A and B are shown apart, each in its own frame.
Chain A
Amino acid sequence: GNSVTQMEGPVTLSEEAFLTINCTYTATGYPSLFWYVQYPGEGLQLLLKATKADDKGSNKGFEATYRKETTSFHLEKGSVQVSDSAVYFCALGTQGGSEKLVFGKGTKLTVNP
């Protein structure tokens, strides 16, 4: 079945450090891949997505590339800010319509000034 494995946290960085959060997946077919972010006390919100191999999703300085050969979708940011402190979830969905997403367990990121 479909599954997502996400690096365990928590991750603590200093401001302006480089961020990588690893995500690998197992799926049949060609799933869409997502990164969601959850700020304290809020619901999840979409950060970026990619719908086919070699697509790069980007938003707010974050990037992730859909790598089919390594079944990965690692999240990166070149210079994190305190405001990036949140929990990040990798997820995959089925192609062709809105159905359920499979989420990773989440990685908590804390950025210190």
Chain B
Amino acid sequence: DAGVIQSPRHEVTEMGQEVTLRCKPISGHDYLFWYRQTMMRGLELLIYFNNNVPIDDSGMPEDRFSAKMPNASFSTLKIQPSEPRDSAVYFCASSLATGQSILGRGNEQFFGPGTRLTVL
């Protein structure tokens, strides 16, 4: 399996521009998570989906941020308009809901390599 795929890996844009980050989760996974990582705030959960439906978007910083998951193999995180304080590394992660007794697992999330966003 290719793992979680994110694109682009790096994005440099100017303040006010629209930015779209993309994620392809691991095939068969039914949860998808978007995180943001900065030195100041650490790792923050922005939003997560279950079976393509947004479950909790309480971490989305403001209305400039939006996320969609049109199908099980694709999600986007959009920032419009972008601001310099949005500069961060954005991670996508996916996981599969299974009973712990079935596979002996607990809630493991698989992370993508991240998108480093710089807003000038």
Comparing A18-26, A42-50, A67-75, A78-86, the segment that makes contact with chain B is A42-50
Chain B residues with Cβ below 8 Å from A32 are 100, 106-107
Q: Are B111 and A49 in contact (CB under 8 A)?
A: no
Bound Cα distance from A20 to B87, whole angstroms: 32
Please report the total number of B residues contacting A with Cβ < 8 Å.
Answer: 29
Interface string of B87-99 (1 = CB under 8 A from A): 0000101011111
Q: Are B97 and A97 in contact (CB under 8 A)?
A: yes
Bound Cα distance from A74 to B93, whole angstroms: 24
Q: Are A98 and B91 in contact (CB under 8 A)?
A: no
Q: Are B43 and A43 in contact (CB under 8 A)?
A: no
Q: Does any Cβ of B come within 8 Å of A51's Cβ?
A: yes
Tell me the B48-107 residues at the A interface (CB within 8 Å).
Answer: 48, 55-56, 91, 93, 95-100, 104-107
Specify the main secondary structure of chain A where it touches its partner: loop
Interface string of A27-62 (1 = CB under 8 A from B): 000001010000000111110010100000000000
Bound Cα distance from A32 to B107, whole angstroms: 8
Q: Are B106 and A49 in contact (CB under 8 A)?
A: yes
Bound Cα distance from A96 to B99, whole angstroms: 6
Q: Which residue in B95, B99, B107, B114 is a CB contact (below 8 Å) of A43?
A: B114
Q: Are B31 and A95 in contact (CB under 8 A)?
A: no
Q: Does any Cβ of A come within 8 Å of B45's Cβ?
A: yes
Give me 19 other A-B pairs in contact (C-beta within 8 A), A49-B105, A105-B42 excluded. Answer: A34-B107, A42-B114, A43-B4, A43-B114, A46-B108, A46-B109, A51-B104, A51-B106, A89-B43, A93-B106, A95-B100, A96-B99, A97-B99, A98-B97, A98-B98, A99-B55, A101-B107, A103-B43, A106-B42
A-B contacts, 25 of them at CB < 8 A, read: A32-B106, A34-B107, A42-B113, A42-B114, A43-B93, A44-B109, A45-B111, A46-B109, A49-B105, A49-B106, A89-B43, A97-B97, A97-B99, A97-B107, A98-B98, A98-B107, A98-B109, A99-B55, A100-B33, A100-B45, A100-B48, A100-B56, A101-B45, A105-B42, A106-B43
